[in-house]
Structures are given as C-alpha cells and as structure tokens.
C-alpha cells in the first residue's frame, strides 16, 4: 500500500491475440515481491507469536486468513495503480511514458476487496468481533489510501495508515485468529514491521518528491523535503530494529529476537547512499533497495526467533 514495487502491463504482447494476455496482465498487477515484504510478513509474525510464545496454532484458520490477506493486497495494488493513473501522478513530467491503467483494474480491486471482506466475516464467526474490527480498519485504510472520497495520502496520513495496517492491525489480527485474545507483547512486536514499512513508504516517496507535490499529495517527504525525508526514514527504520532490544530488556521477547539487529548494516548502507543521492532519483535506487532488504531481513529474523522460541 503506497509502496510502488509493481507495474501494470496494459498492452498485449505482440505475439498474442488481443485479449489473450489478460491473465498475464492480472498477474503483473500484483507481483510476488510486494507479498513477500509487505503483505505476508506481518501476518506471519502474528502467527509466529501465537505458535512460539502462546503455544497455539490452528492451521485451517491460518490458511483462510492467508487467503484474506492475499485478496486484500490484490485490492490495494489494483486501487493504487488505477487511482494514481487517473490522478496522473506518475506522468506529471512525461505524460506519454505510460498508457492509462484500464478500467478492468478497478473492477479487479473491487472484486478482491469484496472477497477479502467475505473471508473476514467468515473468520469473525469463529474469532468474534475483534476480527470484524481489524477487517474494517484494514479495509478503510486500504480502500481509501488513494481512493475517493478520503484519499489518506492526500491528507498527510498515508504513511500512518501504512504503518498501522502492516504493523499492529495485521499482526494482532493474525494473533487473534490463533488465540482469540489481545497481547501487549505482540503489540510491541508489531512495531518492528510497522516502523520498517513506514520507513519504506517514506523512502519510496523521495524520488517522487516533485510530482507528488504537484498533484497535491501531502506525504512526509512533500512536507519536510527530501533531505529531511532521508533523516525521517532512517529514524523510523532504526526504531523498528531497536524494538526487539526494548522487548528483550522488558522481558517480553526471547533473547533470540535480537537477531533482528543483523539487518542493521543494511540500514547503514541505505543511509550512506541516501545522503549522497537524495536529489538524483535515478541514483537513489540503491538506497531504496537496501531498506527493502533491511525490512525483509529484520522482520524475518525477528519472526523466526519468536517461532523457534517454543523449541529452544
């Protein structure tokens, strides 16, 4: 949500008949990378807490919830691509670079959200009203991130919605599916992906500073500038990696959770590149890549430590 790691394919390949490439287009709307580092890891974190810390795991519920997350991310990316295209965000300076996103992408998004809501309601029958709450909160954040009439990103709340959705809401929702109750320790654990994904949202906006400002987006980078944006994303990512330290010190996390700190060198590399290239978008790509890998590595190591705690 808001992290642009995908591109829609809107032209049929020349060797295919018109319309024959529709399934390929649908697949290209949501690529595996997004699921790996945004949609999947916080959900796995909640399940890992349930298994490793609470010693509870329900496979059937887990896979049903996984399908709901999958459908939600399809809807998020379809909506983001469609409404960004209609607002012209990605074509401010080069209007002929990309063809407009077709209307079927909006239909895909609506269908995916409807199916995800159905899964959420189905799970709520067994999990109770908190599942309805998490589904509703996530839905409001996802549908209206760039979609009218709210458009969170145009109101300066885009990064906050991303952090909440891919931090507490998804992690605690996943945990509740397994255990049926809330956990303060899991809430703190959700800050690891929450802060890191928020940092990713900020760093991703730095190359798009001028076009975002021109189309009226009020993200953090537009408000504070690109250099300060670098400082903000590095601070947010550092908070994410330091969360396990706080949790271990408080006795809420196992000592193995400190393995997340192994991702810290990637944050250092990202910062080094960012301070050198923040005003040259094409050269800024390595800074983004390092923070993406930092998110994947840090959250994965932290999740693995919680999961393995049951056996250590």
pLDDT in tens, the chain (312 residues): 444 443 333 333 444 444 444 444 444 444 445 545 577 899 999 999 999 999 999 999 999 988 888 888 888 777 777 776 766 555 444 444 555 677 778 888 889 888 988 888 888 887 778 888 888 887 787 777 777 788 888 888 889 999 998 999 999 999 999 998 999 999 999 999 999 999 999 998 999 888 888 877 888 999 999 999 999 999 999 999 999 999 999 999 999 999 999 999 999 999 999 999 999 988 999 999 999 999 999 999 999 999 999 887
9 in any annotated domain: no
Q: Is 15 part of any domain?
A: no
16 occurs within a structural domain: no
In a domain, 17, yes or no: no
Domain range spanning residue 209?
Answer: 22-311
Q: How many CB atoms within 10 Å of residue 147?
A: 20
The rounded Cα 108 to chain-centroid distance in angstroms is 19
Tokens representing 110?
């609506």
CB 41 within 8 A of CB 301: no
108: enclosing H helix or E strand: helix 104-127
Based on the structure, what is the number of domains in the chain? 1
Q: 4 lies in a domain? A: no
pTM of the model: 0.81
What is the model's pLDDT at position 86? 67
Per-residue model confidence (pLDDT) at position 132: 83
Angle between helices 285-308 and 226-249 (to 10 degrees): 10
Burial of 203 (0-12, 13-18, 19+ CB in 10 A): buried
Let me know if residue 152 belongs to a domain: yes
In a domain, 2, yes or no: no
Q: Residue 163: its pLDDT value, please?
A: 92
**Are 124 and 132 spatial neighbours (Cβ–Cβ below 8 Å)?**
yes
For residue 53, being part of any structural domain is answered with yes
């Amino acid at each position: 949500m808001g992290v642009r790691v995908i591109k829609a394919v809107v032209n049929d390949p020349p060797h295919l008949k018109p319309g024959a490439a529709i399934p390929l287009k649908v697949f290209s709307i949501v690529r595996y990378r997004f699921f790996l580092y945004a949609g999947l890891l916080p959900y796995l974190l909640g399940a890992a807490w349930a298994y490793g810390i609470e010693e509870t795991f329900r496979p059937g519920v887990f896979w049903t919830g996984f399908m709901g997350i999958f459908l939600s991310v399809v809807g998020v990316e379809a909506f983001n691509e469609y409404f960004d295209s209609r607002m012209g965000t990605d074509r401010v300076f080069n209007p002929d670079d990309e063809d407009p996103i077709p209307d079927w992408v909006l239909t895909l998004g609506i269908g995916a959200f409807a199916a995800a809501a159905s899964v959420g309601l189905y799970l709520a029958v067994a999990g109770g009203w908190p599942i309805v709450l998490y589904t509703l909160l996530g839905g409001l954040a996802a549908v209206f991130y760039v979609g009218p009439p709210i458009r969170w990103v145009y109101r300066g709340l885009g990064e906050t919605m991303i952090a909440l959705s891919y931090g507490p809401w998804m992690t605690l929702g996943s945990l509740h599916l397994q255990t049926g109750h809330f956990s303060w320790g899991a809430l703190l654990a959700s800050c690891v992906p929450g802060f890191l994904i928020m940092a990713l949202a900020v760093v991703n906006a730095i190359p798009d500073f001028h076009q975002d400002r021109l189309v009226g987006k009020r993200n953090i980078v537009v408000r504070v500038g690109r250099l300060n944006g670098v400082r903000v994303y590095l601070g947010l990512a550092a908070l994410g990696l330091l969360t396990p330290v706080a949790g271990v010190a408080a006795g809420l996390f196992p000592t193995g959770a400190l393995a997340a700190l192994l991702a810290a060198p990637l944050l250092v590399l990202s910062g080094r590149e960012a301070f050198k290239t923040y005003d040259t978008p094409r050269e800024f790509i390595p800074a983004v890549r390092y923070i993406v890998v930092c998110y994947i590595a840090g959250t994965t190591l932290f999740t693995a430590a919680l999961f393995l705690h049951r056996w250590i």
